[in-house]
Structure 1
Amino acid sequence: MIYKSFFFFLLLRVILLLLAVTVIAYGITDNQNFLIIGGLIITLVLCYDLYRFVSKRFVEIDDFFEAVKYRDFSRWFSEEQGSKDIRKLHRGFNIVNKTFKDINNERQAQFLYLQKILEMVDVGIIAYNLENGEVLWVNDSILNTFNLPSFKNIRFVEKRRPQLYDALFETYHTKDHSMTLEMKDEKLKVLVSNTIFQMDDMAYKLIVLQNIETTLNKNESEAWKKLLSVMTHEIMNSIAPISSLSETLHSEVESKRKHPDSFDLNLEDLDAGILSIKKRSEGLMKFAKTYRTLNKVSQVSRSKILVNDLFKNIENLLIPSLNQKEITLEFKNSNPKLEVHIDVHLIEQVLINLILNSRDACEGMADGKINVSAEKFRDGVQIKVADNGVGIPPEIMETIFVPFYSTKKTGSGIGLSLSKQIMMLHNGRIQVQSIEGQGTVMSLLF
């Protein structure tokens, strides 16, 4: 609407100016001096008026653009004074200024909100200019981690902590990378990642750093507690009867030594006791070997294999024994071209262990079923082993992956622990869902 009013008045002035020029031309043609003089006067007045009309509006626009240039949106243009088009122009300027002020207020609110979030998180964050090292943003977490005051340029860190500077700012970590940073009086285990981004033709580096020392120590402590608890239980179960039986046998031998004529040593009892000690000792040796097995798997040799071929190998191996127990085993895969990049022997071991666990859960049931299925899952593959067995009680759900923990009388307690370790070596996960009395689903996520 502003430009319509402006062009209307501009066109009106141009038409009047053309009429004045026409009068001058007519006066020259008819040699009428008063028309020529009058036309010239009118033309000069109209030219001056046109100049004022245009220049005044361009001055107003120039003032507005000057304010925009310096981001001064606080100015208010009068909407009550001046011509109609000037008032409309001022009204438009005020609307633009208000819009920019609202945008700035929203951005400021968002910035403060983000600032508070970044200050509260327990993750160190710093962004800086790659060219001159000026810090764009740094939160308190990273300052507290390194025991540094607030700084404006990373050169400050270079002067105070050169080793920290080299490890953090001079090295580029494309993926999450755990590293140990040497401080003045301690070493910190941290997880660090970074990325480079462009903003206003300038390159910036964003570093995200998390102190994982406390988390690792806590998890390690909890893992040791669980491991030692199970190992102590297993060892005590073997040592207690060995100690008691050894003491009994020793007592009989001592009695025979002290009273050789009056005390008859029962060789069968002695042999049975020694045999029991032998069996318990063998049990302890087996326990130690299973621990060594759990500790032995440290690397994988990957190759691509079709899921159907993987399933076929396991089916040929397990179907006969499951048929004897009248348990149905089914394999499902709707995509015959689906393949996985795995250590075939290790993953076969995992699947066999899960299927045998399901077999034990379904044993004695009239309609025991085990379904092994595969499907695309996000950017990877998911293999599920599901059964309709007795399920896992909620109270032991958190302990099933603890080494040597087993609810079976003859179980070693390393099957699920070993399976979890193998999946971790594949950068995958193993998840469990179970409802007591209804069944269990174990999922392998690659």
Structure 2
Amino acid sequence: MMVAPLQVCKLAALDMDHRQHLEKQAVSIAHEIRNPLTTIKGFIQLLKPDLKEIGKEYYVDVMIEELDRVNQIINEFLNAGKPQHPLAQKTSLNKLIKDMAVLYEGEAILRDIRLSTSTAGDDVVQNIPTNQLKQVIMNLMKNAMEAIEDQCEREIYLSASVQNEFATIVIKDNGCGMSEEARALLYIPFFSTKEKGTGLGLSVCKEIIDRLGGSIHVDSSQGKGTIFTISFPLRLS
């Protein structure tokens, strides 16, 4: 059955109206999310003196940084139509690893995971897009935690090193590993080995690292765990 040109135009107009309505709703929701974030941040800051007494004030710093990161993600969403570059800021590579370890400390305890870290011998501070690097590490940490769920002993190792003006971050687990076929399709959008996976996480990771002029490499085989290695130049062009 052929659709009349007028009907096609009407359907296109309805589709555009629907999209515009969804965009307005999304912008409204993004703005609304900011209100509870501000409240949460305020109460977290009130807790800092109490945590300082037990030597855990650093937890507050990490939580506040993560709330600021959420706020930055909202800003990027609201400015999605405007030309922009990844926001770079002075970042200590070792602090980045320490923050990630603190962020996953609670979940590691709950899941009975041994989470160990290693930092660069000579720390470096560079202008890099911290939020995007955190996004990559968090995606890989999430994958690692899911991969080791069925192991009797669960281990994740997170490390950073520097050599020849390149930074290298390694996320290693002793989980189920991947087949050769899965590795070949790993960075293809919407491919996932998990039943409820979207298949977007690793493709986004690769896109981010590519934009940094770096590389992401996986070493994995079934039943023998997985090692993700991220490398990127410290002097970003």
**Which interval holds the TM-score relative to the shorter structure?**
0.5 to 0.7
In the alignment, structure 1 residue 305 sits paired with structure 2 residue 123:
no
Determine which structure has more spread, i.e. the larger CA radius of gyration: 1
2:143 pairs, out of 357, 381, 385, with 357
In the alignment, structure 1 residue 320 sits paired with structure 2 residue 106:
yes
Q: Percent identity?
A: 29
Q: Give the corresponding residue for 2:159.
A: 373
Structure 1 runs (4+) deviating above 4 angstroms are none
Q: Give the corresponding residue for 2:123.
A: 337
Shift of 1:363: 0.7
Q: Give the corresponding residue for 2:44.
A: none
Aligned residues: 152
Q: Distance in 2 between matches of 1:435 and 1:346?
A: 28
Shift of 1:298: 7.3
Q: Please tell me the residue identity of whatever aligns with 1:403.
A: P
Q: Give the corresponding residue for 1:417.
A: 203
Partners of 1:298 and 1:425 within 8 A in 2: no
Q: Please tell me the residue identity of whatever aligns with 1:371.
A: Y
Q: Distance in 1 between matches of 2:115 and 2:140?
A: 12
User: Whose helix proportion is higher, 1 or 2?
Assistant: 1
Q: Distance in 1 between matches of 2:87 and 2:217?
A: 23
Q: Please tell me the residue identity of whatever aligns with 1:378.
A: N
Q: Give the corresponding residue for 2:219.
A: 433
Per the normalisation by structure 2, the TM-score is 0.60
Query: CA-to-partner distance for each residue in 1:273-301, whole Å, 9 max, x for gaps?
Result: xxxxxxxxxxxxxxxxxxxx9xx797311
Q: Distance in 2 between matches of 1:369 and 1:339?
A: 29
Partners of 2:120 and 2:162 within 8 A in 1: no
Partners of 1:400 and 1:406 within 8 A in 2: yes
Stretches of structure 2 lacking an aligned partner (at least 5 in a row): 1-76, 233-237
Q: Give the corresponding residue for 2:230.
A: 444
What is the CA RMSD across the aligned residues, in angstroms? 1.9
Q: Secondary structure at the match of 1:372?
A: strand
Shift of 1:336: 4.8
Q: Distance in 2 between matches of 1:317 and 1:309?
A: 12
Shift of 1:331: 1.3
Q: Distance in 2 between matches of 1:387 and 1:418?
A: 21
Q: Give the corresponding residue for 1:226.
A: none
In the alignment, structure 1 residue 396 sits paired with structure 2 residue 177:
no
Shift of 1:362: 0.7
Per the normalisation by structure 1, the TM-score is 0.33
Q: Secondary structure at the match of 2:192?
A: coil
Q: Distance in 2 between matches of 1:423 and 1:382?
A: 12
Partners of 2:112 and 2:154 within 8 A in 1: yes
Relative to 1, partners in 2 of residues 1:341 and 1:367: Cα closer, same or farther, differing over 3 Å?
A: farther
Q: Secondary structure at the match of 2:135?
A: helix
Q: Distance in 1 between matches of 2:180 and 2:84?
A: 31
Q: Distance in 2 between matches of 1:425 and 1:384?
A: 19
Q: Distance in 2 between matches of 1:430 and 1:340?
A: 20
Q: Please tell me the residue identity of whatever aligns with 2:142.
A: L
Q: Distance in 1 between matches of 2:213 and 2:86?
A: 11
State how 1:219-298 maps to structure 2 within 5 Å.
none
Relative to 1, partners in 2 of residues 1:339 and 1:367: Cα closer, same or farther, differing over 3 Å?
A: farther
Shift of 1:400: 0.8
Query: CA-to-partner distance for each residue in 1:153-178, whole Å, 9 max, x for gaps?
Result: xxxxxxxxxxxxxxxxxxxxxxxxxx
Partners of 1:299 and 1:425 within 8 A in 2: no
Higher RCO (CA-CA < 8 Å; seq separation 6+):
2
Shift of 1:365: 1.2
Q: Distance in 2 between matches of 1:428 and 1:339?
A: 17
Q: Distance in 2 between matches of 1:350 and 1:311?
A: 12
Shift of 1:364: 2.2
Q: Give the corresponding residue for 1:199.
A: none
In the alignment, structure 1 residue 385 sits paired with structure 2 residue 174:
no
Shift of 1:304: 2.5
